[in-house]
C-alpha cells in the first residue's frame, strides 16, 4: 500500500511508514493538480497546511484515510471526504509544547522590542532604547482565547512569569483553576496581552475584528500563533496605525501580509509559521500521523478521527 505525503515530514515518520509496509509517495509540490495525479493508487494521505481539496478526493481510487500533520483541518474538504467514505484524522496536542513556547517567545520579543532592536544595531542606528516604551510581563493580564493543549501550556508559562491569566473558551469544561470570561469582550477590556489559540471554523472567522480591537485596552498586544483567518487583518492594521494597540506578533497571516499595510507597521513581528517546527515536535507529529495511517489501514479507527461515522456508514452500505 502507498501513502501520499503532500509536504515534507520528518524522516522518523517516513521510517515508521516503511517499517509498517507502507510506501511513502512524496509529492514534488502540493497544488491540487499534482495531488489529484499522485493520489491514484494511494490508500492514505498525510498532509500539512496544504490540505486536501475536492479535486484530489475525486481523483482518489483507493483512499481510506487523510491524516493532518497538526491540528487544523480547515483546508480539508470534509464534505468530499464524507462523500468518498474517507476517514480524516488529525494529531492534536502533539506539537503543543513547541507552539506554546513560540507564542511565549513572540510575546517576549514584542514586549521588549527584540527584533527591531537587532535591526537597528545591525544598521548602526543609535538611540533605539530611547525610541519606544518597553514593558515587563509580571503583573500584567493575559487573555488566552482557546483552552486546548496549546492554550493551556501557554497559560501555565505566563502564570509562572507572574501574569494574571484569563480564559475565553466557551466549550472548555475545566480551566484548571484559571478565571473564565463569560464573553470575549469582557476579557478584551481587561487584558494587556491577547493570545489566540482557537480553531478556525464558521463561528471564529475574523473573531478579532474592528469592534473587538476597539474593545481592547490601549497599548495591548496581540499574539496569533493559531490560524490567520481568526484576524481581520485590515482592522488590525487600522488599530495599529492609530496607535490604539501596542503591537502584534503573527506566526500566521494571509499571503503577502508582510508586504501590505501590516508590514508598514513598525510594531508588528512576523514569523513564517514556525510554531511547530522544532525538531522534537516535527518528529512526534510525523510519527503520530504515520501511526494513524497504519491503524486505519489495519481496519481500526484512530482515536483522533474527526469523522468516525464515515466508516460506520460505509459498513452499513455493504450489508
Tell me the C-alpha distance between 89 and 66, whole Å: 6
- 3-state secondary structure string across 78-138: HHHHHHHCCEEECCCCCCHHHHHHHHHHHHHHHHHCHHHHHHHHHCCCCCHHHCCCCCCCC
Query: For residues 55-90, b (16+ Cβ closer than 10 Å) or e, as one string?
Result: ebbebbeebbbbbbbbbbbeebbbebbbebebbbbb
pTM over 0.75? The answer is: yes
Write the DSSP symbol of residue 263. Answer: G
Given this model, what pLDDT does residue 313 score?
A: 59
Mean pLDDT taken over the chain: 94
Instruction: Determine what percent of the chain falls in helix, strand and coil, rounding each to the nearest 5.
Output: 40, 15, 45
Tell me the C-alpha distance between 110 and 188, whole Å: 18
Per-residue pLDDT tens over the stretch 300-316: 999 999 999 987 655 44
3-state secondary structure of 25: strand
Per-residue pLDDT tens over the stretch 245-283: 999 999 999 999 999 999 999 999 999 999 999 999 999
Given this model, what pLDDT does residue 217 score?
A: 97
Per-residue pLDDT, averaged over 47-76, amounts to 93
Write the DSSP symbol of residue 191. Answer: -
Per-residue pLDDT, averaged over 188-214, amounts to 96
Amino acid at each position: 500500500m502507498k501513502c501520499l505525503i503532500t509536504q515534507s515530514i520528518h524522516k522518523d515518520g517516513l521510517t515508521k511508514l516503511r517499517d509498517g509496509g507502507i510506501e511513502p509517495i512524496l509529492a514534488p509540490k502540493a497544488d491540487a493538480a499534482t495531488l489529484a495525479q499522485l493520489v491514484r493508487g494511494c490508500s492514505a494521505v498525510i498532509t500539512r497546511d496544504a490540505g486536501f481539496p475536492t479535486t484530489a478526493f475525486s481523483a482518489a481510487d483507493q483512499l481510506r484515510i487523510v491524516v493532518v500533520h497538526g491540528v487544523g483541518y480547515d483546508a480539508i474538504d470534509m464534505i468530499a471526504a464524507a462523500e468518498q467514505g474517507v476517514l480524516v484524522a488529525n494529531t492534536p496536542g502533539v506539537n503543543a509544547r513547541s507552539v506554546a513556547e513560540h507564542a511565549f517567545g513572540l510575546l517576549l520579543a514584542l514586549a521588549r522590542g527584540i527584533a527591531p532592536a537587532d535591526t537597528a544595531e545591525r544598521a548602526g542606528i543609535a538611540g533605539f532604547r530611547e525610541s519606544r516604551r518597553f514593558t515587563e510581563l509580571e503583573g500584567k493580564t493575559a487573555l488566552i482565547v482557546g483552552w486546548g493543549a496549546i492554550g493551556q501550556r501557554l497559560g501555565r508559562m505566563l502564570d509562572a512569569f507572574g501574569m494574571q491569566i484569563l480564559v475565553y473558551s466557551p466549550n472548555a469544561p475545566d480551566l484548571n483553576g484559571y478565571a473564565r470570561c463569560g464573553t470575549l469582550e469582557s476579557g478584551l477590556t481587561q487584558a494587556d496581552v491577547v493570545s489566540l489559540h482557537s480553531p478556525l471554523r464558521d463561528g471564529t472567522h475574523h473573531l478579532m475584528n474592528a469592534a473587538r480591537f476597539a474593545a481592547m485596552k490601549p497599548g495591548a498586544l496581540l499574539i496569533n500563533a493559531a490560524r490567520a483567518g481568526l484576524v481581520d487583518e485590515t482592522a488590525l492594521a487600522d488599530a495599529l496605525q492609530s496607535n490604539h494597540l501596542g503591537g502584534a506578533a503573527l506566526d500566521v497571516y494571509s499571503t503577502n501580509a508582510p508586504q501590505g499595510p501590516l508590514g508598514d507597521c513598525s510594531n508588528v513581528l512576523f514569523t513564517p509559521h514556525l510554531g511547530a517546527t522544532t525538531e522534537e515536535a516535527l518528529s512526534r507529529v510525523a510519527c503520530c500521523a504515520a501511526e494513524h495511517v497504519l491503524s486505519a489501514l489495519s481496519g481500526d479507527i484512530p482515536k483522533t478521527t474527526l469523522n468516525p461515522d464515515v466508516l460506520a456508514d460505509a459498513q452499513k452500505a455493504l450489508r
